[in-house]
């Protein structure tokens, strides 16, 4: 996943396999809050993090099953994150 940290409402790209290329067939959640799938291929998903997200796990559900949980750090505003 890139990046491994973002701000509320930010975007991340998750890499893996067995995703649906139909973005509406992938359900992604950050700490139990539904993320928006912006783009989808069978090997990656570009997600918009919910504006009320908190640090926790990102997980994806597809017709093929459930992904492993991936930790994602969430900062409340752009001033809280510094690119390493």
Q: Say if CB 9 and CB 49 are below 8 A apart.
A: yes
Vertex 74 angle, CA 13 and 20, to 5°: 25
- Residue-wise pLDDT for 41-54, tens only, equals 999 999 999 999 99
pLDDT band with cut points at 50, 70 and 90 for residue 84: very low
Quick one: CATH architecture of 5-77? Sandwich (2.60)
Cα 47 from Cα 56, distance rounded (Å): 15
Mean predicted lDDT score pLDDT of the chain = 90
Q: Find where tokens 């559900």 sit.
A: 61
Integer Cα distance of 31 and 57 in angstroms: 5
pLDDT at 17 over 70: yes
Q: What is the per-residue pLDDT across 66-83, written as a single tens digit (0 to 9) for each?
A: 989 999 999 886 665 555
Are 29 and 39 contacting, i.e. CB atoms less than 8 angstroms apart?
no
Q: What is the pTM of this model?
A: 0.86
pLDDT at 64: 87
């Amino acid at each position: 996943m890139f990046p491994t940290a973002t701000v509320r409402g930010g975007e991340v790209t998750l890499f893996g396999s067995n995703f649906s290329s139909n973005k509406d067939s992938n359900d992604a959640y950050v700490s139990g809050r539904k993320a928006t799938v912006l783009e989808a291929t069978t090997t990656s998903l570009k997600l918009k993090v919910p504006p009320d997200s908190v640090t926790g796990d990102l997980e994806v559900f597809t017709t093929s099953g459930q992904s492993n949980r991936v930790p994602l750090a969430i900062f409340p505003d752009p001033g809280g994150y510094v690119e390493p």
